């Protein structure tokens, strides 16, 4: 079993609150910062054990992670054994394999291009007021040893939309199960060794190059991305391209197109199990809503699945990001992440709805944990999501980029996606004419950074140096 007293709460469980603030800071005075870590800050950090029970959950959960720039500032000279982390996220726009991650730097905000962020506090609670109180207390403790660089306020959406992101789809359904932690394992969940998420644990692919003193053990690399969602533009695209106009109403045809781009209906029901209409009962049922593998329903053979997009396009978001039987029968798949994202920004206004043009910034404060960024986020984004040929080996050799988050070099270029229209299943190897063309990107990266979220013992180690 894992030592859940030593692991920060967001990694394996999430912050489990409706409000979450990402507070990015710069360290001005390493000595004072480390001394305040020891005397006050570490005591505030929420562990996995604490978050698991409502009885022990703090009013405001707090996690803390550092960039490489931050570890440098704090005088930590150990190489954590993750080059993507060491070089920072900005360098993955132009870096070596498995980058680039596809963003165009022109869409990044200056706070992320500056490369000066040393750390991030994650603060989560039921109310924004609780978070403000906790943040004020942290700021008063740390005084002038830090400077605020940027903050993003995340929040669950209101009412029935709680749990849904800004495009309207239920999120947070599918996560890998972590051996030695997740219990029970739900149908369709893949069990993964803890070392794919936690440094130094079983099957950590870079075990041999971690700091020999062991202080990085039970930490995890946190990929943060501010992903803006152009919701009215996305809705307008769906509204003007309804599928199957012979049998469906325009509204139903638009819903079907969105669901086929995502791989799930707005309720969370997987289209692979319910291809023609939403099934909210299926979406809400954890015993069924993740129990599919993209293989033949009865034989679970891999043969038919190379031809058939009737149940789910090859390029659907959830299939690109987790191809299940498309690859898992062939190889042990090391490309898993634990997601802990939350929406940010206001609800759509009536005028945005009417004009179809975004006036307010909103999107997803994307968070993913892994023990190797090049196997995790960077691999998913580069080799799967942004690659027109993945899943490889299909009858159609160009399924297309991910229709939700895939981008052709971050430039908003039109994207040809195979098999989105079930009436025209796109079996042809060479001709692209019946792909659905998505005219631009509806998710735009505003930038991000790579962080390391140490264990509690790791935080003590840092503070003691
Ligand atoms: Fe995605 N969305 O809300 O539209 N994602 N995602 N994602 N995503 C998933 O199955 C979304 C992004 C993954 O196991 C669902 O839990 C949005 C990035 C993975 O079957 C929905 C954005 C990356 C899965 C969304 C976004 C991923 C997944 C279905 C950006 C990685 C699990 C809910 C604005 C690089 C797949 C669920 C599986 C699921 C949405 C970004 C990865 C609804 C809006 C950048 C691995």
Q: How far apart are CA 385 and CA 447, in angstroms?
A: 17
- Residues 190 and 238 both lie in one domain: no
Report how far apart, in Å, the C-alpha atoms of 237 and of each of 15, 125, 233, 401 are: 34, 36, 6, 17
- Residues 202 and 328 both lie in one domain: no
Q: Does any ligand 1 atom lie closer than 6 A to the CB of residue 318?
A: yes
- Residues 176 and 281 both lie in one domain: no
- Residues 129 and 253 both lie in one domain: no
Q: Pick out the chain residues at pLDDT < 70.
A: 95-99, 300-304, 328-331, 425-434
- Residues 71 and 103 both lie in one domain: yes
- For a mutational test of ligand 1's pocket, the pick from 182, 321, 342, 384, i.e. the residue with the most ligand atoms closer than 8 A to its C-beta, is 321
- Residues 415 and 459 both lie in one domain: no
**Can you give the residue range of the structural domain that contains 434?**
230-335+377-442
Residue 199 lies in a domain: yes
Q: Does any ligand 1 atom lie closer than 6 A to the CB of residue 378?
A: no
Residue 354 lies in a domain: no
Residue 356 lies in a domain: no
Beta bridge partners of 26: 147
pLDDT of amino acid 395: 83
Residue 348 lies in a domain: no
Residue 266 lies in a domain: yes
Q: How far apart are CA 244 and CA 420, in angstroms?
A: 11
Report how far apart, in Å, the C-alpha atoms of 252 and of each of 160, 230, 398, 400 are: 20, 21, 27, 24
Residues with Cβ < 8 Å from 363, sequence gap 6 or more?
166, 226, 227, 228, 229, 343, 344, 345, 443, 446
Residue 218 lies in a domain: yes
Q: What is the DSSP letter of 285?
A: -
Given 171, 291, 361, 428, which residue is catalytic? 171
Cβ of 374: how many Cβ atoms within 10 Å? 23
Q: Does any ligand 1 atom lie closer than 6 A to the CB of residue 405?
A: yes
Q: How far apart are CA 221 and CA 457, in angstroms?
A: 16
Residue 106 lies in a domain: yes
- Residues 185 and 234 both lie in one domain: no
- Residues 432 and 385 both lie in one domain: yes
> How many Å lie between the centroid of ligand 1 and the Cα of residue 339?
8
pLDDT of amino acid 74: 98
171 is catalytic: yes
Residues with Cβ < 8 Å from 34, sequence gap 6 or more?
74, 462, 463, 464, 465
- Residues 75 and 159 both lie in one domain: yes
- Residues 195 and 317 both lie in one domain: no
- Residues 191 and 321 both lie in one domain: no
- Residues 13 and 87 both lie in one domain: yes
pLDDT of amino acid 412: 86
Residue 112 lies in a domain: yes
Q: Which of 379, 416, 154, 170 is nearest to 271 (CA)?
A: 170
- For a mutational test of ligand 1's pocket, the pick from 152, 171, 189, 326, i.e. the residue with the most ligand atoms closer than 8 A to its C-beta, is 171
Domains in the chain: how many in total?
2
């Amino acid at each position: 079993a894992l030592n859940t007293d030593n692991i920060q709460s967001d990694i394996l469980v999430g912050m489990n609150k409706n409000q979450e603030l990402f507070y990015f800071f710069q360290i001005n005075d390493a000595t004072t910062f480390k001394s305040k870590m020891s005397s006050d800050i570490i005591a505030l950090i929420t562990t996995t054990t604490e978050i698991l029970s409502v009885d022990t959950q703090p009013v405001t959960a707090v996690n803390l992670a550092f960039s490489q720039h931050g570890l440098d500032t704090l005088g930590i000279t150990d190489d954590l054994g993750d080059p993507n982390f060491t070089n920072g996220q900005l360098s993955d726009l132009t870096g070596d394999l498995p980058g680039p991650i596809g963003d165009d730097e022109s869409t990044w905000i200056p706070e992320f291009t500056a490369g000066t962020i040393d750390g991030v506090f994650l603060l989560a609670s039921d109310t924004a007021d609780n978070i403000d109180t906790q943040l004020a207390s942290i700021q008063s403790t740390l005084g002038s040893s830090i400077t605020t660089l940027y903050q993003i306020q995340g929040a669950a959406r209101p009412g029935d939309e709680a749990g849904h992101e800004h495009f309207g789809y239920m999120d947070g359904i599918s996560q890998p199960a972590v051996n030695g932690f997740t219990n029970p394992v739900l149908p369709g969940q893949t069990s993964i060794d803890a070392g794919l998420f936690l440094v130094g644990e079983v099957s950590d692919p870079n075990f041999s190059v971690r700091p020999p003193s062991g202080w990085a053990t039970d930490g995890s690399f946190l990929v943060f991305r501010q992903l803006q969602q152009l919701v009215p533009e996305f809705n307008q695209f769906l509204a003007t391209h309804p599928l199957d106009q012979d049998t469906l109403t325009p509204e139903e045809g638009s819903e079907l197109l969105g669901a086929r781009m995502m791989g799930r209906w707005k309720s969370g029901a997987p289209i692979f199990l319910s291809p023609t209409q939403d099934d909210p009962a299926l979406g809400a049922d954890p015993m069924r809503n993740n129990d599919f593998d993209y293989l033949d329903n009865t034989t679970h053979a891999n043969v038919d699945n190379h031809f058939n997009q009737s149940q789910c396009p090859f390029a659907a978001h959830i299939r690109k990001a987790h191809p299940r039987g498309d690859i898992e029968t062939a190889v042990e798949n090391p490309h898993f992440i634990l997601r802990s994202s939350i929406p940010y920004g206001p609800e759509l206004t009536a005028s945005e709805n009417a004009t179809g043009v975004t006036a307010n910034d909103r999107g997803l404060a994307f968070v993913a944990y892994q023990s190797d960024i090049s196997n995790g986020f960077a691999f998913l984004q580069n080799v799967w999501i942004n690659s027109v040929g993945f899943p490889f080996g299909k009858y159609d050799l160009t399924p297309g980029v991910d229709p939700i988050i895939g981008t052709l070099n971050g430039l908003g270029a039109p994207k040809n996606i195979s098999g989105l229209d079930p009436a025209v299943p796109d079996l042809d190897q060479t001709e692209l004419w019946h792909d659905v063309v998505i005219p631009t990107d509806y998710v735009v990266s505003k930038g991000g950074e790579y962080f390391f979220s140490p264990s509690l013992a790791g935080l003590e180690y840092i503070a003691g140096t």
